[in-house]
Chain A
Amino acid sequence: MAEVEKSREVKKQEAGGGVATERTRTGRIYMPNVDISEDRDSLTLYADLPGAGDEDVSVTLENDVLTIEAKVSSVKVGDHRLSYAEYGVGDYFRAFTITEPIDRDRIEAKMKDGVLRIVLPKKEEAKPKQIKIQAG
């Protein structure tokens, strides 16, 4: 699995050079932190998207590029003044190149408490197979 963008810090990062085209929406775009695990049958990706609900997130797999996008509107608290800020609020974007053949019909994506979980099941032919050595 190769990546389009690189992440080094845990601090919320704005998406950088990986976004090749301009967007129609203005505002900040952040790059979510992700964990990715793999087993024999699937790849599982977790992305932190605080502030995004399930209706705000879109996940697409086109050719071999998995794209995660989320639209998050800025928060207003009554007539309060934002007097101190450690994090910014904005949309999320990140894309990954997936080299394993994925069974597209069985991809599952779920949002819970600001965390996106995507399960990408591998195609049958991509799964490792044990080859029996026959005594001859």
Chain B
Amino acid sequence: MARIGRIGWSWDPIQEMERLERDWSDFFSGSGRPSAVKYPPVNVFTGEDDVVITSEIPGVNPEDVDLTVTGDVLTLKGTRRQQELGQGQAWHRRERGYGDFYRTIQLPYNVDSSKVEANYSKGILRISLPRAEADKARKISVKTA
């Protein structure tokens, strides 16, 4: 399992993919349990016609974050840069992780990728993902014969 260590984090893409698949299948089967190792952590808010995802990624440059949406899958990719030490500086303590991150998130429905909006404020990334028109629920009236 990919573990975020105290200094940076190690990452195995194959294991990560397997783990994500497992995590999200757990989530949608209702037995999901948030685990400590996913980065960045996300919260998912579901509405009738859109999904809003918030994620805690403090201290990144928004230009270092890359979002893509394909159908009903959101990919979140980016880099949290390491704080550079100046001349004569030494670390006492390092708890904040840094490095590359990559997550794929299965959304509950197809998204209109042209209407996706994202903003970054106070270290929180907020992504609004409107449901694709063709995918919206329709009420079907039952006719009597």
- The answer, yes or no, to whether B71 is at the interface (CB within 8 Å) is no
Instruction: State A44–B32 Cα separation when bound (angstroms).
Output: 39
Instruction: State A69–B122 Cα separation when bound (angstroms).
Output: 15
- The answer, yes or no, to whether A25 is at the interface (CB within 8 Å) is no
- Whether B46 and A35, one on each chain, are in contact in the complex, defined by CB atoms closer than 8 angstroms, is no
Q: Considering the complex, which residues of chain A in the window 71-113 have a beta carbon less than 8 Å from any beta carbon of chain B?
A: 75, 77-87, 112-113
CB contact between B38 and one of A9, A51, A52, A86 (< 8 Å): that residue? A86
Residue of A nearest to B108 (CB): A83
Q: Give the secondary structure class of B's interface.
A: loop
- How many chain A residues sit at the interface, stated as a range, is 35 or more
- Whether B88 and A115, one on each chain, are in contact in the complex, defined by CB atoms closer than 8 angstroms, is no
9-residue interface stretch from B12-20, B50-58, B132-140:
B50-58
CB contact between B56 and one of A39, A43, A87 (< 8 Å): that residue? A87
- Whether A39 and B44, one on each chain, are in contact in the complex, defined by CB atoms closer than 8 angstroms, is no
CB contact between B96 and one of A34, A78, A82 (< 8 Å): that residue? A34
- The answer, yes or no, to whether B92 is at the interface (CB within 8 Å) is yes
- The answer, yes or no, to whether B142 is at the interface (CB within 8 Å) is no
Taking A80-B46, A84-B44 as contacts, is the C-beta distance between A50 and B122 under 8 angstroms? yes
On chain A, the residues within 8 Å of B39 by CB distance are 10
Contact indicator per residue, chain B 83-97, by CB within 8 Å of chain A (1) or not (0): 101111111111111
On chain A, the residues within 8 Å of B85 by CB distance are 37
Q: Give the secondary structure class of A's interface.
A: loop
Task: Tell me how far the C-beta of A13 lies from the nearest C-beta in chain B, rounded to whole angstroms.
Answer: 10
CB contact between A51 and one of B6, B44, B56, B90 (< 8 Å): that residue? B56
- Whether A83 and B45, one on each chain, are in contact in the complex, defined by CB atoms closer than 8 angstroms, is yes
On chain A, the residues within 8 Å of B36 by CB distance are 9-11
Q: Considering the complex, which residues of chain B in the window 30-68 have a beta carbon less than 8 Å from any beta carbon of chain A?
A: 32, 34, 36-39, 41-47, 52, 54, 56-60
**19 pairs across A/B with beta carbons < 8 Å?**
A10-B97, A12-B41, A33-B95, A33-B96, A35-B95, A35-B96, A36-B92, A37-B91, A38-B92, A46-B83, A46-B96, A77-B47, A77-B54, A78-B52, A79-B47, A84-B42, A85-B44, A86-B43, A87-B43
19 new A-B contacts, CB < 8 A, other than A12-B56, A38-B92, are A8-B6, A33-B95, A33-B97, A36-B91, A38-B90, A39-B89, A48-B123, A49-B58, A50-B124, A51-B56, A81-B45, A82-B43, A83-B45, A84-B32, A84-B44, A86-B43, A113-B122, A113-B123, A115-B59
